[in-house]
Structure 1
Amino acid sequence: MINKIEVKSVLNKQKYVDDWFLSGYSINPYSGCSFNCVYCYTRGSKYGEHQVPGLAVKINAPEVLVKQLKNRARKREYGFIAFGSATDPYLPMEKDLKLTRELLMIILRFHFPVNLLTRSPLILRDLDILKKIGEKAILPPDLKGKMDTGVVLSFSFSTTDEDLARIFEPSAPSPQERLETMKKCKEEGFRVGAICMPLLPFLSDSEEHLDEMIKKVKKYDADFLMASGLTLFGEGPYDCKTRYYKVLEEHFPELVPKTKTIFGNSFAPSRKYQQELHQRIIRLSRKHNIRNKIY
């Protein structure tokens, strides 16, 4: 069942501009996600505390966004909008509802730049609007001269292995679909990249797996790759920490103690693990000649 909700705000102003995604704002047209990724950080975290159970569409988002962007544009507070930072903007229901498309048309009207994060080939439907946004967007002062477009298209992966993806991202488009969609977007002239977040400990974070993953996204014309480790929140039955360990126990029981060791009592892996993972990512990215930032 899809809930219909009304919101007072749809454009979220961030405290700081995100160094990775360049965004000063974020938009999520939908609440909840039908892709059902086991590790989703909006489950059992501060991001998910106030979500409506199940899927929800923000039915008044267009009229709210007009008011908010009109105000920001009047003050010339331009900045990249991270589109789909918490929920994919191209869930299957978007095909009929066209809410994301409507919001992109409003963004075009007010000349804001966009970094759109998705797993779905449905993004191809909206390349016409995204091209216009890229041409007409007003970049924030700190990015002028550094960026030649107002649109970045980022494709999300935790792995490029089809079998692993079916376990941890059971209802999402396959990694191969995402790779092919990314390549098509690149062929249309967009700046595209792979967001490998989260990498799964002892599954998609190894030297061999990462090497293959980075080699593959480079082959499919990614301009950049950004990657980081897994975070696990919550102790409830539907929280991502609980769900992740349940799936791990079912498919890779030998990895449960190893994974718990690197997390300890924290929601994030140990500093040592994160440092080693970061060094591995940098080294392999250099090997395959792909940068680790958007520009």
Structure 2
Amino acid sequence: MVAVAGKEDTVMKRRKQSSFVHAENVEFLPTKVFEAKAPERTPHYKPAYLQFRLGEQNPDIHFTRYQSPSAFRKAGAFIPRSLKYMHIYNYRLSPYMGCTKRCIYCFELVNRNVGKNEVKVKTNTVKYVRKVLLTLNERKAVLVDGYDCEEIEKETKLLRSSLKVLLEFKMPVFVQTKSSLVLRDIDELERLSECAELTTVAFSLTSLEEEHARIFEPYTTPPEERIKAIQKLSSRGILTGIILMPILPFISDTDKTLERVFSEAASIGCSYVIPEPLRVTGVGPQRNNVFRVIKKYYPDLLPKYERLYPRDPYGPEFGTRPMSRTYLYGLFQRIRAQGRKYKMSTKFPMSKLARSARGAST
């Protein structure tokens, strides 16, 4: 027992010495080690998302060239449902797979056919468009996308060359884009609009607030430039519109924001403003991206987003609208009210398009 007690005394003595030595060392350490200095900010400090010019090229994108029949095909998931039912826009021209914009909410981020930061260039686009058109007995309009891949499109001009082929066959087109590069081909679009009344150009717009655009779509053309592009197209007699997509709940859906969009649309000659709320997947990278940004820049809205977009491992591949009928009903009611106020259609001008389609098919 004595031996055991002696061991305990020795252990306790060592612990005290150890703690004493540690305390003694701390006492003589320089005081500045323990100071928690706040990082100095210059008078021109800006948050990370404001430290670059909106619309800059994404430096991480790389391009892969290949040949694919998907350059011109039957329209798929991204065609508006109402137009599918009308059997007007049935084909899709897409010279590029993937997108350089990498918008936070975009489903291209989950495209399994392209690698991370990869855009595939379909080099056979023009030849394949001509080959398919020679076999068609109908003149349904073509959904055109790809202008958002500005850097590579300026080099290859696949879209411009394809538009010339579509013009030969008098095929009406529906161009959906966020890029002002479409103005480069305004002459071809003007000729198409003269011989094919269905031709229209719609710009996707999340918000007119540049701050929101920097956060959710940093590599896109600034909203003001898109508005100017619409105005130029409208002045040349081309049917134009705005696809208000996606509408961000509690961010870009306020009455003030919606009224500004409709007011701008009316002043620049738009024919329609089509609303589409934000879709979020139940699980996966698209959901993670959206919630990461909401948590970082809009933390107060995080609980609301979790209620509108509950986690669901078995949800649709392209996400769901907000899971609240009350929210959706109120949103569309306010949008229709703005449409009535500014005499702006919130649907595609279907009757006019349908008459044109019947005339083109005869």
Q: Match for residue 230 of structure 1?
A: 278
Q: Report if the CA contact (8 A) 1:23-1:82 is conserved.
A: yes
Q: Greater shift after overlay, 51-60 or 179-188?
A: 51-60
* Counterpart-to-counterpart distance in 2, 1:229 and 1:176: 21
Q: CA deviation at 1:136?
A: 2.6
Q: Report if the CA contact (8 A) 1:89-1:100 is conserved.
A: no
* Counterpart-to-counterpart distance in 2, 1:234 and 1:18: 22
Q: Match for residue 216 of structure 1?
A: 264
* Counterpart-to-counterpart distance in 2, 1:34 and 1:89: 7
Q: Report if the CA contact (8 A) 2:246-2:278 is conserved.
A: yes
TM-score, scaled relative to structure 2: 0.71
Q: CA deviation at 1:170?
A: 0.1
Q: Report if the CA contact (8 A) 1:120-1:173 is conserved.
A: yes
Q: Report if the CA contact (8 A) 1:234-1:242 is conserved.
A: no
Of 209, 215, 221, the match for 1:173? 221
Is 1:69 aligned to 2:130, yes or no? no
Q: CA deviation at 1:258?
A: 0.6
* Counterpart-to-counterpart distance in 2, 1:243 and 1:222: 32
* Counterpart-to-counterpart distance in 1, 2:93 and 2:327: 32
Q: Secondary structure at the match of 1:43?
A: helix
Of 159, 180, 183, the match for 1:100? 159
Q: Match for residue 63 of structure 2?
A: 2
Q: CA deviation at 1:281?
A: 1.0
Q: Report if the CA contact (8 A) 1:10-1:27 is conserved.
A: yes
Percent of residue pairs bearing the same amino acid type = 28
- Over the aligned positions, Cα root-mean-square deviation in angstroms equals 2.0
Q: Structure 2: which amino acid aligns with 1:227? A: P
Structure 2, unmatched stretches of 5+, are 1-61, 350-362
Q: CA deviation at 1:102?
A: 0.9
* Counterpart-to-counterpart distance in 2, 1:277 and 1:246: 24
Q: Match for residue 206 of structure 1?
A: 254
Q: Secondary structure at the match of 1:227?
A: strand
Q: Match for residue 89 of structure 2?
A: 23
With over 3 angstroms needed to count, the CA separation of the structure-2 counterparts of 1:17 and 1:31, relative to structure 1, is closer
Q: Report if the CA contact (8 A) 1:27-1:82 is conserved.
A: yes
Structure showing the higher helix proportion among its residues:
2
Q: Match for residue 142 of structure 1?
A: none
Q: CA deviation at 1:88?
A: 4.1
Task: Report the count of equivalent residues.
Answer: 274
Q: Report if the CA contact (8 A) 2:101-2:149 is conserved.
A: no
Q: Report if the CA contact (8 A) 2:147-2:181 is conserved.
A: no
Aligned pairs for 1:99-138 (under 5 A) are 99-137=158-196
TM-score, scaled relative to structure 1: 0.86
Q: CA deviation at 1:204?
A: 0.4
Q: CA deviation at 1:52?
A: 4.8
Aligned pairs for 1:34-45 (under 5 A) are 34-44=100-110
* Counterpart-to-counterpart distance in 2, 1:150 and 1:216: 23
Of 273, 276, 289, the match for 2:343? 289
With over 3 angstroms needed to count, the CA separation of the structure-2 counterparts of 1:43 and 1:64, relative to structure 1, is same
Structure with max Cα Rg:
2
Structure 1, unmatched stretches of 5+, are 138-148
Q: CA deviation at 1:90?
A: 5.2
Higher relative contact order (Cα pairs below 8 Å, separated by 6+ residues) = 1
Q: Report if the CA contact (8 A) 2:102-2:219 is conserved.
A: yes
Q: Report if the CA contact (8 A) 1:232-1:241 is conserved.
A: yes
